[in-house]
A and B are shown apart, each in its own frame.
Chain A
């Protein structure tokens, strides 16, 4: 367990220390995140895995400065996070492309807001789009694209202003299984090329194992991290990894943990 006073380790990028999120509702306070501590090293790909409604998205938004922290501390690059920063890129569950902008203009939207030089970033936007296989679609409008293509554009938008950290909130959960596998490969591709620190929230065990260096398993009650599992599958990974013994063993270990923590939650009285 990390103590509050411990200095940031070299190479440490995100660090949560007993972070709490408590919502006031009509039925009384609800603990969405209950004293979570973890850390992510620079360039590491970490997945937060948990059942739906366990507070993992809230935790991610707290890391991005988009949700206030009730108690405890989350620091990014050594400084406690209180509001969103331009060193962090966020991907949401929906692609959130603006319907009246073309794909290229959507990717350039952060550049527009941040008043960065347009010319050089335009080249970068086109490069990113071609990397995810969207060249030729620059002037299409979002409604002309499939769900997978929209999320590809959203990846480009999150990377165009070159943030150091990428926070992803179940970005592919609304897609069908086949598209989802394609998106995972596209994401790995782009991540290897740019090596960002990545924090990826998902409820899919296979997705977490396929993508991450480390998987943090999150429990529902209390909403806290119950396990921190390293994924020693060598990179670069491709879909054939999914058939290896190691991959499937890791998956069943994680499944066991989620089921175990579920049972434990059912055995104790509901968390008041």
Chain B
């Protein structure tokens, strides 16, 4: 009985144990080896900085969070719309799909300075940059999803004299949703990355700015504390998307794997 229970808990307990042990080793070794606080600070020091600088960090995390969320939502809308537009006709797909794929391969991060020139140093350029970065993975996965519908289901719709729009809404969209969520999960992290890079480059406000500022001032503990907060935001937003996916899966009530329906 106990053995069975352990087997069920093992996949959860073991990783947590490992993470805990890692933190403990980090804490103890930094003290033991007298590592310079410039290079690495123990978790306890990070925690105390996090508590001390909490009001500042909270104020600076607000623009980062808002830009990320708004950027992600805009990118989702645009990406899903473009993904749908791409599959409207075979010709449209042939004409634009290669461009979308090539855009996936090039280092779009480097475009950041252009956004500053176009939209200034303010939050608008960071927002636009986040939209620009997270738009592509969402569009690609949406287009993939809209094409992933079971071909015989499409044939069934044709035999039932369904209109293109009926087929799209009732068959293509439901088949696409698992794929779209895969894209959204990538997109939400990429949106945060876009905002943070924007904050690195413009150095006006936000957690990215704090990280740059603290690292140039060699305040390593503050760098770590800010990164920890940023990771918290990242996990929070990812969790929100994952929660949405969970609800959708429950509504489907059918086994769904990463690649669509089983």
Give me the interface of A with B, judged by CB distance under 8 Å: 64-66, 83-86, 88-90, 92-94, 96, 98-100, 109-110, 112-114, 141-143, 161
Q: Residue B159 at the A interface, CB < 8 A?
A: yes
Cβ-closest chain A residue relative to B163: A113
Contact: B171 with A98, CB < 8 Å? yes
Kindly state the separation between the CA atoms of A4 and B255 in the bound complex, as whole angstroms. 52
Report 21 cross-chain contacts, Cβ distance below 8 Å, ordered by A residue.
Answer: A66-B158, A83-B161, A84-B158, A84-B159, A84-B161, A85-B161, A88-B159, A90-B155, A90-B156, A92-B152, A96-B155, A98-B153, A98-B174, A100-B252, A100-B253, A100-B254, A113-B162, A114-B161, A141-B254, A142-B254, A143-B255
- List 14 extra interface pairs beyond A86-B160, A92-B156, A99-B252, CB under 8 A: A86-B161, A88-B159, A89-B159, A90-B156, A96-B150, A96-B155, A98-B174, A99-B261, A109-B170, A110-B160, A113-B157, A113-B166, A141-B254, A143-B255
Please encode chain B, from 159 to 189, with 1 for each CB lying within 8 Å of some chain A CB and 0 for all others.
1111000100011001000000000000000
Contacts A86-B160, A113-B170, A114-B160; A143 near B262 (Cβ below 8 A)? yes
Cβ-closest chain A residue relative to B159: A90
Return chain B residues, CB-CB under 8 Å to A100.
174, 251-254
Kindly state the separation between the CA atoms of A64 and B157 in the bound complex, as whole angstroms. 13
Counting contact residues on chain B (CB < 8 A from A), the size range is 20 to 34
Residue with the greatest number of chain B CB neighbours at <10 A, chosen from A65, A83, A99, A161: A99
Return chain A residues, CB-CB under 8 Å to B166.
113
Within 8 A of A (CB), among B225-262: 251-255, 261-262
Return chain A residues, CB-CB under 8 Å to B155.
66, 90, 92, 96
Kindly state the separation between the CA atoms of A99 and B262 in the bound complex, as whole angstroms. 9
Kindly state the separation between the CA atoms of A64 and B254 in the bound complex, as whole angstroms. 31
Cβ-closest chain B residue relative to A98: B153
Within 8 A of A (CB), among B103-132: none
Cβ-closest chain A residue relative to B154: A96
Question: Distance (Å) between the CB of A260 and the closest chain B CB?
Answer: 34
Contact: A66 with B252, CB < 8 Å? no
Contact: A113 with B160, CB < 8 Å? yes
Question: Distance (Å) between the CB of B245 and the closest chain A CB?
Answer: 14
Kindly state the separation between the CA atoms of A114 and B160 in the bound complex, as whole angstroms. 8
Question: Distance (Å) between the CB of A36 and the closest chain B CB?
Answer: 20
Kindly state the separation between the CA atoms of A5 and B35 in the bound complex, as whole angstroms. 97
Kindly state the separation between the CA atoms of A156 and B129 in the bound complex, as whole angstroms. 52
Question: Distance (Å) between the CB of B94 and the closest chain A CB?
Answer: 18
Kindly state the separation between the CA atoms of A113 and B167 in the bound complex, as whole angstroms. 9
Contact: B153 with A96, CB < 8 Å? yes
Contact: A112 with B252, CB < 8 Å? no
Please encode chain B, from 129 to 162, with 1 for each CB lying within 8 Å of some chain A CB and 0 for all others.
0000000000000000000001011011111111
Kindly state the separation between the CA atoms of A212 and B92 in the bound complex, as whole angstroms. 46
Task: Give 4 closest A-B pairs by Cβ, nearest first.
Answer: A99-B254, A90-B159, A100-B252, A96-B152
Kindly state the separation between the CA atoms of A113 and B168 in the bound complex, as whole angstroms. 12
Question: Distance (Å) between the CB of B68 and the closest chain A CB?
Answer: 31
Cβ-closest chain B residue relative to A100: B252
Kindly state the separation between the CA atoms of A66 and B156 in the bound complex, as whole angstroms. 9
Cβ-closest chain A residue relative to B249: A100
Contacts A143-B254, A143-B255; A84 near B160 (Cβ below 8 A)? yes
Return chain A residues, CB-CB under 8 Å to B171.
98
Return chain B residues, CB-CB under 8 Å to A161.
160
Cβ-closest chain B residue relative to A93: B152
Kindly state the separation between the CA atoms of A98 and B170 in the bound complex, as whole angstroms. 10
Contact: A66 with B254, CB < 8 Å? no
Return chain A residues, CB-CB under 8 Å to B156.
90, 92, 96
Kindly state the separation between the CA atoms of A96 and B254 in the bound complex, as whole angstroms. 14
Kindly state the separation between the CA atoms of A110 and B155 in the bound complex, as whole angstroms. 13
Question: Distance (Å) between the CB of A164 and the closest chain B CB?
Answer: 14
Cβ-closest chain B residue relative to A142: B254
Question: Distance (Å) between the CB of B37 and the closest chain A CB?
Answer: 55
Question: Distance (Å) between the CB of A96 and the closest chain B CB?
Answer: 4
Cβ-closest chain B residue relative to A65: B159
Cβ-closest chain B residue relative to A115: B166
Cβ-closest chain A residue relative to B167: A113
Within the complex, which residue of B152, B161, B261 is in contact with A94, where a contact is CB–CB below 8 Å? B152
Kindly state the separation between the CA atoms of A120 and B50 in the bound complex, as whole angstroms. 66
Return chain A residues, CB-CB under 8 Å to B152.
92-94, 96
Cβ-closest chain A residue relative to B260: A99
Question: Distance (Å) between the CB of B211 and the closest chain A CB?
Answer: 43
Cβ-closest chain A residue relative to B174: A100
Cβ-closest chain B residue relative to A64: B159
Cβ-closest chain A residue relative to B256: A99
Question: Distance (Å) between the CB of B167 and the closest chain A CB?
Answer: 9
Return chain A residues, CB-CB under 8 Å to B160.
84, 86, 109-110, 113-114, 161
Return chain B residues, CB-CB under 8 Å to A83.
161
